[in-house]
Amino acid sequence: MSSCFQTLSDYGLRSIGYGERLLPKADITLCEQFVLIGSGMIWNIYFAILALLLGFFFATVLALGKNSKLPLFSSPCRLFIFIFRGSPLFIQFFFAYDLFVLLPRLGFNIDLGFLVVTVETRWLTKAWLGALIVLFFNTSAYAGEIFYGALRAVPSQDLESADAFGFTGIKKFRRIIWPTMLRLAWPSYTNEAIFMFHATTLVFFTGFPAWQQKGDAIYYASYFADKTFNPFVPYPIVGFYFILLTLLIIGLFGLINRRLNKHLPTNERKRLRFNKYNLIR
């Protein structure tokens, strides 16, 4: 058992470059597999949380744009959503990586006041930024479509009441349209969040290199499956971690769902029952 604590301190943060440099090669123990794959989950969580957080706002913009009457706004949003929803994420990763590689290697100095950061285009070819951008665009497109559908479904009475109470512009959107849109979209958006977490497993199988063997959960799982030639241990471990994560997301999104439905009379409140039967992906 104490050796497992040793493994934990050696490999617990291996995926972000701390601890033992060499991966276990021979006599791989169950503990090592659990720890290293768990360590890889850091990357999956990093990608998914940042992509979802940023994507949430961009998706709202895309949904509003697509709903706009002006073709100047609606056409680019439509095109963006079409491109990212119409093609496989796997190909998007390859395409983006190969484009980023072709970019000239430049550095820009950005003065933050207290320190100067050099932003390099080279970063785009690294998974932490390049893959994150692809995931961000991808989830924005899917969530944008979900929000657009919800926006179209906002009851017209709500809008009329808003008008009657003198709500206009930003205030009408922030107080009336946006909360209702979110409430209607939430079950589908929960699905999107779950599948975004799942989609992060693709990153290190595409062009983006796992530098110094710093990879995600499935990168280490396939490493172990290759080394031990036994798929029956590492892949179920990944499955276990992702089931935990999925339950966590469902719990968290359920809480938000409760908040979104708080104003409704108790008999009309719906528990979060996401739409298993019509997956928008």
Binding site for other proteins (CB under 8 A): 26, 28, 82-83, 85-92, 94-95, 98-99, 101-102, 194, 197-199, 201-202, 205, 218, 221-222, 225, 227-232, 235, 238-239, 242-243, 246-247, 276-281
Closest separation in Å from C-beta 173 to other proteins: 27
Q: Is the Cβ of residue 39 or residue 188 nearer to other proteins in the bound state?
A: 188
Find out whether 44 and 197 touch, Cβ atoms under 8 Å: yes
Closest separation in Å from C-beta 279 to other proteins: 6
By the 10 Å C-beta count (0-12 exposed, 13-18 middle, 19+ buried), 59 is classed as buried
Q: Is the Cβ of residue 5 or residue 90 nearer to other proteins in the bound state?
A: 90
Return the amino acid letter for 4.
Answer: C
Q: Is the Cβ of residue 54 or residue 233 nearer to other proteins in the bound state?
A: 233
Give the list of residues 6+ apart from residue 140 with CB closer than 8 angstroms, or none.
54, 55, 58, 59, 62, 80, 84
Q: Is the Cβ of residue 136 or residue 142 nearer to other proteins in the bound state?
A: 142
Closest separation in Å from C-beta 215 to other proteins: 13
Residue 24, classed as helix, strand or coil, is: coil
Closest separation in Å from C-beta 125 to other proteins: 12
Q: Is the Cβ of residue 95 or residue 173 nearer to other proteins in the bound state?
A: 95
Closest separation in Å from C-beta 199 to other proteins: 8
